[in-house]
Structure 1
Amino acid sequence: MFIGIDVGTSTVKAAAFDTAGTELAVEARQITLSLDEGVVEQDMDEVYAAVVAVLDALTARLPGPVELAGLTGQGDGVWLVDAAGRPVRAAASWMDGRAHALVDRWLADGTFEAVFRRTGGALFPGSPGPLLAWLDRHEPAALDAASAALCCKDMVFGRLTGAPAGTDVSDASMPFLDPRTRAYDDGVVELLGLTHRRALLAPVGDPISTGEARGEGLPAGTRLANGPYDLPACALGAGVRAPGDGLLIVGTCLASLVATTDLDLSGEPAGLYISTDRPGHRLRAMPAMVGTAALDWVLSTTGVAHEEVDALLAATPPGAHGVRVLPYFAPSGERAPFVEPGLRAELSGVSLESTKGDLIRATCEGIGYAARHCLEAAGLTGSLAVCGGGTRSPAWMRLLADVLGRPLRVVEGEVGARGAVLAAAERYGTALDTARWTRPTAVVEPDPARAAHYTAGYAAHLARLATAREHARDHA
């Protein structure tokens, strides 16, 4: 049996698989996300305790030994640890917006573009560069006390195995890694004013690092591999490897990924190139800030339960009776397929006749338009897989197929955990049938008439977005 561990933004999950890729059991625990006026943080001890708890519960259910385990988790943010691997302060999440003003300044003075032209990564407030620069200005004592600035899975790997601080090429991709050399670009470190903090950047395991569990959560001696982080892990778990093929993750973050062997550092700086364990193969990523989190907010505000979404979508026609949503709900604005830290969500076309169903459908349509924008910018030319919590709604999947105007290969279950196992198996030389492990659970075809309607709706969405971006800049 194999175990995949996925340390998400709001939930920690662990899944067990047999050699054929069948999901045998899953355990999950919610973790706290603290939000306060743009500051978004997580308690590292709580996160680690949740990892141990789900692993204890999962392994107690398994009838036999664990062959190996793979680890993945949320990317970006800053997880400061001391020399013993213990937290220096709360982790700053990838959703954090406190470095908003720094990114604005770098956008204005050319630093933002200079970094993108070197690494292919577009800075956003919750990425490690801006967060480290903010902490250096406002909490230098925290950086002084730290031994390493990690990402989430790296902290967990260190504590499960006792291994020295380290990361992998995928998490290192934003914003300091040169995708050509697969090493940190000290010129980027200097551009962000962090040369004196260079020692905090964790060594890059290339290929991914391995270690043996110390006996917390996993039986002592269990082989464990660290990485890749959740976006590329989901691509592996969904079978997205051929250049041009893509993946849409409808989760807290709305992430669009396209496999590529190209490296184009021209055009509007946005998104990033995620390096993979295969040199020369990358993922062109356009991870929009908010996916299901936008729908969750609307559901909470309107008092609608998740179980009601499919019925409401079925009861409301395409176009939602003129209600429109620009779904940019994140406190730190948007990062893909453009960077606009001051952008905020907009709701329009509402009247006293509008229903809750109109609001729900308009939100789902808006998220679909944002996904189409990201996938086009990422260069999608092949097949498209989709995974994440949004796949639990068949009506939303049909809506997405119509908005995107293409078939969706729906991959359900714990796709990130599955990808973490596949990465671990490859690292340890364990042969698995990848095609069998990554086969879709369903294929959703678009309806031609609705797809034509949404093509016009998408053009109108882009026009409203252009106006909203101008407004955000005018009020920056």
Structure 2
Amino acid sequence: MFVGIDVGTSTVKAAAFDATGRELAVEARPVGLDLRDGVVEQDMEEVYAAVLAVLGALTARVSEPVELAGLTGQGDGVWLVDAAGRPVRPAASWMDGRAHDLVDGWLADGTFETVFRRTGGAMFPGSPGPLLAWLDRHEPKSLDAAAAAVYCKDMVFQRLTGGERAVTDVSDASMPFLDPRTRTYDNGVVELLGLTRRRGLLAPVSDPVATGEVAGGTAGGAAAAGPAPGPEPESESGLPPGTRLANGPYDLPACALGAGVTEPGDGLLIVGTCLASLVATTELDLGGEPAGLFISTDRPGHWLRAMPAMVGTAALDWVLGTTGVRHQEVDGLLAATPPGAHGVRVLPYFAPSGERAPFVEPRLRAELTGVSLESTPADLIRATCEGIGYAARHCLAAAGLTGTLAVCGGGTRSPAWMRLLADVLGRPLRVVEGEVGARGAVLAAAERYGVALDTAAWTEPTLVVEPDAERAAYYAKGYEEHLRRLAEARDRARR
């Protein structure tokens, strides 16, 4: 049995696979987000407890011996931990908006663009650079008390393995301090952001993927520098002591692996809380509009050009909650109104920290237009799904999509939305269902440990959704209108 652990923003999952890639079982637990006045935080102990809970439940259901496990999770944000990996304060989420004034200033004085030209990463308020700079100014005692500023999966990895120090991988480190050419931290960028005295908080980059053994055995690999300081009891994690575990990559590149997106030009659209567009590339072009990021992968010379828009299914969830519509009603309502939603239009930029891809506008907000007393919940829902589709098309174009397109994430559970997306994007969709991030985490672990798996079988799409030619032509015109309205909204956001 192979186990993939995916520590998501709102849900923590563990999935078991057999050697052919067949999904045997999945366990999931929700975790909370504390949202207030632009601040978005998470309780690290709640997150870690959810990891232990899903692993315990999974191994109780499937009694096969565990060959190895891979770990992935949400990226960005700041997770401050002490030497044992315990929290110093709540984690600042990638959705956090408190540092938007800093980003505004860096946009104005050229720091933002300079950082992008050096690292290929366009900072946004919820990325580690702005958040660490904000904490250094407003909450320095938290940084003083921390041994490391890590990412979500790194905290979990250190505690599961009992490692003496935190480590991260090249994918998580890609934003915003990593030089993608040398695969090491760019100290000049650290200095530009005023964080030189906090340089020691950046976790060492383990290249390739960090490995170790689940506590209770002997921690090893790049994750450990000596004896484990206090292993978790065997019964806590559910994984047998000594189980081989690999840390990383984080959820976006893990999903790319799990969907088989590795050839240059091929792309992946993740329709999840975050609407993420990724395109595999061997070309490092740091020109053009500074937006998104280049994610370093386990293969030097190979990157993922990523355009992770801030809001995906979260936008639809907000509309469903506001209208009182249940998720299981979405497909029926999408069929109840025609393309164009009777003139209702949605710019789906609902995140409190604005947008980060394929452009950065910290103050951009969602807009809902064309609504009248005759508008129905079906119109609002279709318009939201269409707006998300237009945003995805914009991101994929900016990322350089030229090959096939795979789609995964919670949105794939709606057949009607997948048909709509195929029409809006004007191309076939290779739909990959199941726990794609966890699947990718296992494939990364297998590569690191030299375990041979049939990756083609592991990443085979569930189905292919073809676009309708007439609707695709309609939406091609709608996309041009979307870009016009977006440009006007961006102008207003800057005033």
The DSSP-based 3-state class of the residue aligned with 1:29 is strand
CA deviation digits over 1:24-63, x for unaligned, max 9? Answer: 0000000001100100000000000000000000001112
Question: How far off its partner does 1:133 sit?
Answer: 0.1
What is the aligned length?
474
The amino acid that maps onto 2:403 is G
Question: How far off its partner does 1:253 sit?
Answer: 0.1
Partners of 2:70 and 2:327 in 1: CA distance? 31
2:426 aligns to what? Answer: 405
1:418 aligns to what? Answer: 439
2:228 aligns to what? Answer: none
Q: How does 1:73-472 map to 2 (within 5 A)?
A: 73-163=73-163, 164-214=165-215, 215=234, 216-217=236-237, 218-472=239-493
The amino acid that maps onto 1:31 is V
Question: How far off its partner does 1:446 sit?
Answer: 0.2
The DSSP-based 3-state class of the residue aligned with 2:334 is helix
Partners of 2:88 and 2:378 in 1: CA distance? 46
The DSSP-based 3-state class of the residue aligned with 1:397 is helix
The amino acid that maps onto 2:26 is V
The DSSP-based 3-state class of the residue aligned with 2:335 is helix
Residues 71 and 157 in structure 2, CA contact (< 8 A), matched pair in contact too: yes
The amino acid that maps onto 2:101 is A
CA deviation digits over 1:295-348, x for unaligned, max 9? Answer: 000000000000000000011100000000000000000000000000000000
The DSSP-based 3-state class of the residue aligned with 2:212 is strand
Question: How far off its partner does 1:255 sit?
Answer: 0.1
The amino acid that maps onto 1:136 is D
CA deviation digits over 1:413-471, x for unaligned, max 9? Answer: 00000000000000000000000000000000000000000000000000000000000
1:13 aligns to what? Answer: 13
The DSSP-based 3-state class of the residue aligned with 2:380 is helix
CA deviation digits over 1:194-239, x for unaligned, max 9? Answer: 0000000000010011111113311111110000000000000000
The amino acid that maps onto 2:492 is H
2:39 aligns to what? Answer: 39
Partners of 1:466 and 1:179 in 2: CA distance? 31
The amino acid that maps onto 2:36 is D
The amino acid that maps onto 1:268 is E
Residues 426 and 467 in structure 2, CA contact (< 8 A), matched pair in contact too: yes
CA deviation digits over 1:125-184, x for unaligned, max 9? Answer: 000000000000000000000000000000000000012200000000000000000000
The amino acid that maps onto 2:24 is L
Partners of 2:240 and 2:136 in 1: CA distance? 39
The amino acid that maps onto 1:188 is V
The amino acid that maps onto 1:65 is P
Partners of 2:102 and 2:191 in 1: CA distance? 15
Partners of 2:463 and 2:123 in 1: CA distance? 36
Partners of 1:385 and 1:240 in 2: CA distance? 7
Partners of 2:63 and 2:173 in 1: CA distance? 37
Instruction: Provide the TM-score with structure 2 as the length reference.
Output: 0.96
Question: How far off its partner does 1:64 sit?
Answer: 1.6
Residues 95 and 352 in structure 2, CA contact (< 8 A), matched pair in contact too: yes
Where structure 2 has 5 or more consecutive residues not aligned to the other structure, the ranges are 216-233
How many percent identity over aligned positions? 84
Partners of 1:248 and 1:14 in 2: CA distance? 22
The DSSP-based 3-state class of the residue aligned with 2:28 is strand
The amino acid that maps onto 1:180 is R
The amino acid that maps onto 2:53 is A
Question: How far off its partner does 1:83 sit?
Answer: 1.1
Q: How does 1:41-80 map to 2 (within 5 A)?
A: 41-80=41-80
- Hey, which bits of structure 1, 4+ residues long, moved more than 3 A? none
Larger mean CA deviation between 59-68 and 417-426 belongs to 59-68
Instruction: Provide the TM-score with structure 1 as the length reference.
Output: 0.99
Partners of 1:334 and 1:272 in 2: CA distance? 14
The amino acid that maps onto 1:232 is P
Partners of 2:245 and 2:62 in 1: CA distance? 17
2:230 aligns to what? Answer: none
Residues 255 and 437 in structure 2, CA contact (< 8 A), matched pair in contact too: yes
CA deviation digits over 1:105-143, x for unaligned, max 9? Answer: 000000000000000100000000000000000000000
The DSSP-based 3-state class of the residue aligned with 1:350 is coil
Partners of 2:186 and 2:32 in 1: CA distance? 34
The DSSP-based 3-state class of the residue aligned with 1:26 is strand
Partners of 1:209 and 1:104 in 2: CA distance? 35
Partners of 1:466 and 1:16 in 2: CA distance? 45
Question: How far off its partner does 1:371 sit?
Answer: 0.1
Question: How far off its partner does 1:84 sit?
Answer: 1.7
The DSSP-based 3-state class of the residue aligned with 1:315 is coil
The amino acid that maps onto 1:449 is E
2:229 aligns to what? Answer: none
